[in-house]
Structure 1
Amino acid sequence: MDQSKIRNFSIIAHIDHGKSTLADRILEMTDAVSARDMRAQVLDTMDLERERGITIKAQAVRVDWKGHELNLIDTPGHVDFTYEVSRSLQACEGALLVVDAAQGIEAQTLANAYLAIENNLEIVPVVNKIDLPAADPDRAAAEVADLIGEDAENVLRISAKTGQNVDQVLDAIIERIPPPAGDPAAPPRALIFDSSYDQYRGVVAFVRVVDGEFHARDRLRAMALGTRFEAQEIGFMSPAMRPVESLSAGEVGYVITGLKDVSELRVGDTLTSESRPAAEPLPGYKDVKPMVFAGLFPTDSDDYPELRDALEKLKLNDAALMYEPETSQALGFGFRSGFLGLLHMEIVRERLEREFDLDLLVTAPNVAYRVLDKNGQWREVHNPAEMPDEFEEVEEPYIRASIIVPKEFVGAVMELNNERRGKFDHMEYLSPERVHLTYELPLAEVVLDYYDQLKSRTRGYASFDYDLSGFRPGKLVRVDVLVGGEPVDALSLIIHRDFAYDRGRLLVEKLREEIPRQMFDVPIQAAIGSRVIARETVKARRKDVLAKCYGGDITR
């Protein structure tokens, strides 16, 4: 295909603003999917995605329109999956920024627009859902135009559900988004932007070809890891896999590697040819740092090897997942895993249970802390049980939270942030009705139920986005739980000193209800070091004096 006829773009937007529905209409209008196979959110192939109505994995598809080859990448909208969006954007030259005509700009719209601008992409603004009774396309168009410095006249107004004006979007992609700039005659190079594991064909790498040309049966090499393999099949997604003889510069497709060991290929690596290797690899991706940590333990300790294999295979498909082996006296062998947020943690857990048929126990989530010990060494602590009893200083991660909310809820949001030890940064009015608040918050306060609280206090109108801003010193302590005088490592938690008593009290009261009575008293204590801050006692069983009074016949 002539490079000037290729366009690579992704669809970015806030959650539920219609990315996957717009992708459906584009596939339908370009006849990529037959009417018989068409269903809503056709690109969301995972059961979990279809049940929850969200996109988790970015999906790449090739369609044809007016003699041009368009490579579309549908991306997730949730803040936990921002890394998926940033990887997709590196494989594109342009992006469709979709905004709901009824909702207007939301927090994730801003975050994704800035991501696209950082990657120097051409942004095509689109206002969707103009068929809604509550839609105000002019207001939404003015907000988007203001955000990206565009004229409001150039903002396309469409309805992805009914298909109204979607052809204008396809025309705008061809007119406004530049063709890829690669050298078809140079030694071949391709960036792996995603991968998955097929149990029959091994590792499947999804690639964006930057220079040169790749052919089926070529000997290929991954430049960072040095893995060598033969390309068993090359092709593109449409949306099903479609094999072709070759992929040339500017195209997006897949390579079936036949590799059986999942650790031999990494997302962000560069593929090149063995016979004509490239000198320099492509700039890969920044490694994403997990924010939330939790222990994953199999309920049956014999399943430990299966859990290890499942995590290896899942890591191939989910580059942000981190894990390391861990043992707990209470729970046995398992893994300490790192996630980008609570939704990410929930999705990983569900995928492990469904796709690999495992039964898991997940410990309470916590964040990473930095501790300066008595020897003057800084170390990172992912698990409360690892925190030393004596230390000089402890630092916790802070985030910069961006909250967009209707003006009548500003007081409620400020109150919530103050309860969570937040520090006000600034406030600006996006329109007479909507306010953009910026706060500095400790990540530990956001991890548990901050998002639920934010939504309930604003009747669901607030939208929330955050990025990590670094570590700050804090007055933090480790609260241990002792049952019968023995510490239980799985129940330890790290918390701010001001909240330690309340949390300790709640924890021991809950445990007293859960632990069954024994023949002796069981004391349950919450302690900071050697100082007990809360105690409850599970009383011993008493003689059952009513046992004889059951009212039966005395002779029986």
Structure 2
Amino acid sequence: MTELSQIRNFSIVAHIDHGKSTLADRLIQTTGTVADRDMKAQLLDAMDIERERGITIKANTVRIDYRAKDGKDYVLNLIDTPGHVDFGYEVSRSMRAVEGSLLVVDATQGVEAQTLANVYQAIDANHDIVPVLNKIDLPAADVDAVKHEIEDVIGIDASDAIAISAKTGLGIPDVLEAIVTRLPAPKGDRDAPLKAMLVDSWYDAYLGVVVMIRVMDGTVRKGDRIRMMQTGAIYGIDKLAVLKPKMTDIAELGPGEIGVLTASIKQVRDTRVGDTITHERKGCDKALPGFKPAQPVVFCGLFPVDAADFEALRDAIEKLALNDASFSYEMETSAALGFGFRMGFLGLLHLEVVRDRLEREYDLDLITTAPSVVFRLHMRDGEVRDLHNPADMPDLTYVDHIEEPRIKATIMVPDDYLGDVLKLCQDRRGIQMDLTYAGSRAMVVYDLPLAEVVFDFYDRLKS
């Protein structure tokens, strides 16, 4: 059992390709968490798709034991988060489980779009933030300019930012010391009733559902009976472990610690991300606030090539939703393709990744249809119908008027790009409602038809 003062929980946030996963590798290697013979680049990126594309898709956790310069032993729980905006939900989730962040900025490129998006999530979660300037071994690196940029654009003090090269290992000991000295220890009461947050969960063919938890108060031991507060499901804990990155069994987890448990959970829908876990008897009264649900912005239909695979697709989507709670799905039928699902995603890259994972991990052949929305028909005789498919459109002489779903979009954009964004919105049948300035940024509010937005509006906006 580790003392609270000797635990540090932190995540690494940055823009795409600024070196988060490489820094995580060096921290793991420098502390000897993984033997050199087992070490490989991007150690925490375990999925095939992550390795092929060279991006982080899942926030991954590892526990590091570190002896500081003051001679004390510390336990560091590190969460390596994705940089791409399509996986922003992973970032917001991991922020709630930790107290501090390392903000990694590429010293050759400076602050970029996702740097801002991710650091604002950290500030929202009241994190202490340590700026780290990476890639200082490159000739184009300009440390002082990037420090000023961090102070100007983000508004946090970067005078004592740590200059490192994650590739060569330069400055890594300074990062470890900064984690111990500049990030806060977690708070929690060991004697209070158990209160643990369900941060993530995934399906394992041998163990059933594996649940990652962050203990806020109380302690949890192997053999305890626990209750999920949202769903009311009750289980006995079979196994408690910490990830070093491989599962290492442990007898109990106390406040401030992050670990995983298995409890022969067969029903995938019993474990909801953001749920609070407590003891069956003498549990806590009030649940933790949980996470804001993700808001899908790109929609499409997914149908199995072979109609007999529909049940397999349903199971696969349920298991995948456990691992990635940021997509939405509902059943739909098509005259040509039979039964399938209408799915909502956070962007086109997110759509591609989820489809690839369904095809590879669950051995399915899928057809993706172009996204569409539901129109509402008001007939002349007063009847109101929902139109899901253009093939069902009745003769227009019977239709009084048609309504389509619309959205109110608020877009924050730097001055230089305002003209392009306004043109994009006008081309998509948008109606401008408001335009204001906040510093060097414009804030545009548009009323847009959802049908124009669901396909690639978001990706056009980003590019």
Whether these two folds match at TM > 0.5 is yes
Partner of 1:482: none
1:63 matched to 2:73: no
Deviations 1:262-294 (A, max 9, x none): 112111111111233112111111222322221
**1:184 alignment counterpart:** 190
Question: Are 1:336 and 2:337 counterparts?
Answer: no
What is the distance in 1 between the residues matched to 2:387 and 2:84? 27
Instruction: Report if aligned partners of 2:405, 2:451 keep a CA contact under 8 Å in 1.
Output: no
How many Å separate the matches in 2 of 1:377 and 1:141? 63
Q: Does 1:317 align with 2:318?
A: no
Separation in 2 of the partners of 1:2 and 1:118? Answer: 27
| Kept after mapping to 1: 8 A contact 2:347/2:459 | no
Asked if the contact 1:425/1:440 (under 8 Å) is kept, the reply is: yes
| 1:349 alignment counterpart | 355
Aligned equivalent of 2:112, options 102, 106, 111: 106
TM-superposed CA distance for 1:399, in Å, is 3.4
User: Which has the higher mean CA deviation after the structures are superposed, 411-420 or 147-156?
Assistant: 411-420
CA contact (8 A) 1:219 1:229 kept: yes
Give 3-state SS (helix, strand or coil) of 2:62's partner.
Answer: strand
User: Size of the alignment, in residue pairs?
Assistant: 448
Q: What SS does the aligned partner of 1:193 have?
A: strand
Aligned partner letter, 1:309: D
Amino acid in the other structure paired with 2:212 = F
What is aligned with 1:35? 36
Corresponding residue for 1:74? 80
Give the secondary structure class of the aligned counterpart of 1:179: coil
* Conservation of the 8 A alpha-carbon contact between 1:370 and 1:378: no
Q: C-alpha offsets along residues 104-131 of structure 1, whole Å, 9 cap, x if unaligned?
A: 1111111111111111111111121112
Letter in structure 2 aligned against 1:333: F
SS at match of 2:404: strand
Q: Deviations over 1:499-553 (max 9, x none)?
A: xxxxxxxxxxxxxxxxxxxxxxxxxxxxxxxxxxxxxxxxxxxxxxxxxxxxxxx
CA distance in 1 between partners of 2:15 and 2:387 (Å) = 33
| Displacement of 1:384 | 6.5
1:394 equivalent among 394, 404, 410: 404
What's the CA shift string for 1:181-218, capped at 9, x where partnerless?
Answer: 11111011110010001111111000000001010111
What amino acid sits opposite 1:33 in the alignment?
V
Q: Which amino acid aligns with 2:60?
A: Q
2:236 alignment partner in structure 1: 230
Distance 1:381 1:254 in 2: 46
For 1:133, the aligned partner's letter is P
Whether 1:18 aligns to 2:28 is: no
**Aligned CA distance change for structure 1 residues 111 and 221 (closer, same or farther; 3 Å):** same
If the length of structure 1 is used for normalisation, what is the TM-score?
0.74
Deviation for aligned residue 1:168: 1.3
Whole-Å Cα distance in 2 between the matches of residues 370 and 399 of structure 1?
Answer: 19
C-alpha contact (below 8 Å) 1:373/1:392 kept by paired residues:
yes
1:199-214 paired onto structure 2 within 5 Å = 199-214=205-220
Larger Rg: 1
Corresponding residue for residue 167 of structure 2: 161
Deviation at 1:415, TM superposition (A): 5.2
> Helix, strand or coil for the counterpart of 1:105?
coil
Partner Cα distance (1:345, 1:453) in 2 = 15
- In structure 2, the residue matched to 1:296 is 302
Q: Which residue of structure 1 lines up, in the alignment, with residue 280 of structure 2? A: 274
CA contact (8 A) 2:298 2:456 kept: no
In structure 2, the CA distance between the partners of 1:403 and 1:118, relative to structure 1 (3 Å rule), is same
2: CA distance, partners of 1:92 / 1:177: 10
TM-score (norm 2): 0.88
Q: Residues 381 and 259 of structure 1: is their aligned pair in 2 closer, same or farther, counting only changes over 3 Å?
A: farther
- Given that 1:212 and 1:248 are in contact with CA atoms closer than 8 Å, whether structure 2 keeps it comes out as yes
Cα 1:165/1:426, change in 2 over 3 Å: farther
Give the Cα separation in 1 of the matches to 2:220 and 2:360: 36
Q: Where does residue 542 of structure 1 map in the other structure?
A: none
- Matched residue SS, 2:159: helix
Answer yes or no: is the 8 Å Cα contact 1:107–1:402 preserved in 2.
no
| Maintained 8 Å contact 1:107/1:403 | no
Equivalent position of 1:264 in the other structure = 270
Structure-1 separation of matches of 2:263 and 2:87: 26
SS in 2 for 1:54: coil
1:224 partner letter: Q
SS in structure 2 opposite 1:153? coil
Task: Look up the SS of the partner of 2:259 in the other structure.
Answer: strand
Distance 1:325 1:412, change over 3 A: closer
Distance 1:83 1:325, change over 3 A: same
- In structure 2, distance between residues paired with 1:387 and 1:232: 56
Match of 1:484 in 2: none
Give 1:257 shift. 1.8
Partner of 2:44, secondary structure, is coil
Cα offset, 1:136, TM superposition? 1.7
Q: Give the match for residue 360 of structure 1.
A: 366
Deviation string, structure 1 residues 426-457 (Cα, Å, up to 9, x no partner): 67887xxxxx5655564655554457767xxx
Query: What secondary structure, in the 3-state scheme, does the structure 2 residue paired with 1:114 have?
Result: helix
In structure 2, relative to structure 1, the CA distance for the partners of 1:377 and 1:260 (3 Å cut) is farther
Structure 1 residue 152 displacement after superposition: 3.3
> What SS does the corresponding residue of 2:357 show, helix, strand or coil?
helix
3-state SS of 1:36 partner: helix
Q: How does 1:245-260 map to 2 (within 5 A)?
A: 245-260=251-266
Question: Compared with structure 1, are the counterparts of its residues 342 and 453 closer, same or farther at alpha carbon in structure 2 (3 Å cutoff)?
Answer: closer
Identity %: 53
Whether the 8 Å contact between 2:298 and 2:455 is mirrored in structure 1 is no
- How far apart, in 2, do the equivalents of 1:313 and 1:86 lie? 21
Consecutive unaligned residues of structure 1, counting only runs of 5 or more, are 431-435, 455-462, 465-556
Could you say if the C-alpha distance between residues 373 and 242 of structure 1 is closer, same or farther in structure 2, counting changes exceeding 3 Å?
farther
On the 8 A contact 1:203/1:258 being kept in 2, the answer is: yes
Rate the CA distance shift 1:40–1:438 in 2: closer, same or farther, 3 A.
Answer: farther
* Aligned twin of 2:199: 193
* Residue aligning to 1:141: 147
For the 8 Å contact 1:180–1:250, the answer to whether it is kept is yes
Deviation at 1:378, TM superposition (A): 11
Compute the displacement of 1:419 (Å). Answer: 3.9
1:241 matched to 2:247: yes
Amino acid in the other structure paired with 1:187? P
